Amino acid sequence: MSDLTSSLDATSLETPRLLLRPCRDDDLDGFAAINAQPEVMRYIHDGNTLDRAATARRLAVYQRHWDEHGFGLYAVQIKETGELAGFTGLAVPTFLPEIMPAVEIGWRLGRTHWGRGLATEAAQAVVARTRAELDLRRLVSIHVVGNEASARVMVKLGMSLDRETVQPDTGRRVRVYAMGL
């Protein structure tokens, strides 16, 4: 295990500023507030915000993903305040069939948490856990063209551009970054 992380339980991680833990039902209001921010959702899927009901459906998917795959998305909580900042973690990117089979690392933080290195800190902890505990050879990350902040996190993680393509269900241009593990 990396010095960056220390195991709290089977699925939680801790970094100097963050607690990464499985998503819970009581995260719904926090996630709904994040998903309602147009700046946050600008580069997510089709660019539209999500209401509370749509967020509840996504939260249920995130929770099931852990059971189905043994990995998933973590709620990112600020240790100092307990505030829910967003999420980071692993998912199977079925929305981009041309790269399957694959596992994607991704993140989404509320606007007030941008520009402080939190996405990188959280993602580095997930990469360290992935290397130590999962039998994966490759990790990808996907961003809509124009989302340079996410691209910078990908590069900081040690990823490099693999390809540029189009997401079939939205028609949006995306860039796929990848790294060996």
Reported as a single tens digit per residue, the pLDDT across 98-115 is: 999 999 999 999 999 999
Report whether pLDDT(74) > 70.
yes
Cα gap 161→6, rounded to integer Å: 30
Which domains are delineated in the chain? 6-180 (3.40.630.30)
> What's the one-letter identity of residue 88?
T
For 175, the enclosing helix (H) or strand (E) is strand 173-180
Report whether pLDDT(7) > 70.
no
Mean pLDDT along residues 162-175:
97
Answer for the pair 62, 86: CB distance below 8 angstroms, yes or no. no
Query: Which DSSP string corresponds to 115-137?
Result: TSSHHHHHHHHHHHHHHHH---S
pTM higher than the cut 0.95: no
Query: What pLDDT sits at residue 11?
Result: 80
